[in-house]
Structure 1
Amino acid sequence: MSESTFTFRVDDSLKAEFSQAAKCKDRTGAQLLRDFMREFVRQQQEAEAHDAWFRREVQAGIDAANAGDVVSAEEVEVEAAAWRAELQRRLNGAMS
């Protein structure tokens, strides 16, 4: 792994407090900053992957709707009513 230097400006008091907090964790400020950077990159990659998945799912739904592959509101309500009735039956059985 090749390395490079990352230089930035920070308030003196923040640097001192950060260095002290890092020392309390038996870490250097540089170690923590590398950890923070890795975590930030990981979070961004996960967010991008989720966004790509979500866009694919939405497009699949749009494509299905455009192709006429839809369920009517009436069909959904009939199925939901059956689910509710089954749940109510289970709840009534559990309370007996």
Structure 2
Amino acid sequence: MSEATFTFRVDDGLKEQFSNAAKSRDRSSAQLLRDFMRDFVKQQQEAAEHDSWFRREVQIGLDAANAGDVVSAEEVEAEAEVWRAETRRKMIGSRS
């Protein structure tokens, strides 16, 4: 793996505080910055993957709705009532 130098300007006070905080963790500032960069890249990749998944799911829903494959509000409410009744029954049973 090739390495590159990353140079940027930062306030002297912040640099000193960061260096001290890094030393208190037995790490160098550079080690922590690399860790932060890796974490940030990972978070961005995960966010992009989630966004892609979400867009696919929405498209599936839109395609189903456009094809007329929908459930009426009444059917949803009926299923929800069954679920609520079952949940109430379990809650009462767990108190015994």
TM-score, length-normalised on structure 2? 0.92
Q: How far apart are the structure 1 equivalents of 2:83 and 2:10? A: 59
Cα deviation code 1:45-75 (max 9, x no counterpart): 0000001000100010000000001001111
Correspondence 1:1-96 to 2 at 5 A: 1-96=1-96
Number of residue-to-residue matches in the alignment: 96
Runs of 5+ unmatched residues, structure 2: none
Q: Report the CA distance between 1:87 and its aligned residue.
A: 2.1
Q: How far apart are the structure 1 equivalents of 2:95 and 2:17? A: 58
SS for the counterpart of 1:51 is helix
Consecutive aligned runs of 4 or more in structure 1 exceeding 4 Å deviation:
none
Q: Report the CA distance between 1:19 and its aligned residue.
A: 0.9
Counterpart of 1:92, as a letter, is: I
Counterpart of 2:7, as a letter, is: T
